[in-house]
Amino acid sequence: MPRAALFDVDGTLTDTTYLHVHAWWEALRQAGHKVPTATLHRAIGLGARDLIAHVLGEGRDSGQDEMISAAHKTLFATCHERLGPLEGARELLHALYERGWQLVLVTSAVGGELAAMRRALDVDDLIAHIASASDVERGKPAPDSVDQARERTGAAQEQTVFIGDSVWDMHAASRAGVTALGVLSGGIPRADLEEAGAQEIYEGPADLLTQLEESAYARLERET
């Protein structure tokens, strides 16, 4: 029976969360909006349209959305060549691949941003599928991207683990009926991840790697 290891990318495998916060802050500032960075931090993980709606409200001038999103892409693109994986991210992916897990990236990133993160990770030969925001109608916290990623592998819900760093990741995984693991590497508090549905929480990829034999991955392996 196939087993699927689904991964968020920003803040989970790559150290990009606070780069996104700054890029969104500046994009919104240029459009005349003052949004606290703490508010933006908690919104990272949502797709662009949903993030803008979350921080500005449904009563905003939605005609600015495309301009703000484009500005964020332009600002974040200045960091593309400096992106890097979080400690232990590549090693964790290699370890799970060698144990027979199908690896899938589940991300709101598209286009050049996704390409930059794939270059930073440098593990394309291990990745079975990529589920991006352009593939589904609704992004996280809806379960659509997680459902699609799992279905592409042929794995059952009980043989699928999704790991992410945001409450949106945990909500999406829980709604999709798969095992939800959280990491603190994106800066979201442990209590928030637990409340959103995280079944296990690790400091980051390196911490999970050292505890792999006691993790949900090993437990599911033993159950099949």
Q: How many domains does the chain have?
A: 2
**Does position 134 have pLDDT exceeding 80, yes or no?**
no
Q: Which of 144, 69, 73, 72 is nearest to 106 (CA)?
A: 144
For 22-54, write each residue's pLDDT tens digit: 999 999 999 999 999 999 999 999 999 999 999
Model confidence at 136, pLDDT cuts 50, 70, 90, reads confident
- For residue 151, the model assigns a pLDDT of 95
Query: Based on the domain organization, do 143 and 219 belong to the same domain?
Result: yes
Count of CB atoms situated within 10 Å of the CB of 154:
12
Query: Based on the domain organization, do 30 and 98 belong to the same domain?
Result: no
Query: Based on the domain organization, do 117 and 54 belong to the same domain?
Result: no
Query: Based on the domain organization, do 91 and 64 belong to the same domain?
Result: no
- Supply the CATH number for residue 171's domain: 3.40.50.1000
Query: Based on the domain organization, do 95 and 160 belong to the same domain?
Result: yes
Q: Crossing angle for the helix pair 65-77 and 111-121, nearest 10 degrees?
A: 30
Q: Which of 115, 88, 81 is nearest to 211 (CA)?
A: 88
Q: Which of 129, 121, 110 is nearest to 12 (CA)?
A: 121
Task: Determine the 3-state secondary structure of 163 from DSSP.
Answer: strand
- Domain final residue, candidates 78, 94, 114: 78
Query: Based on the domain organization, do 43 and 146 belong to the same domain?
Result: no
Q: Give the structural domain span for 59.
A: 17-78
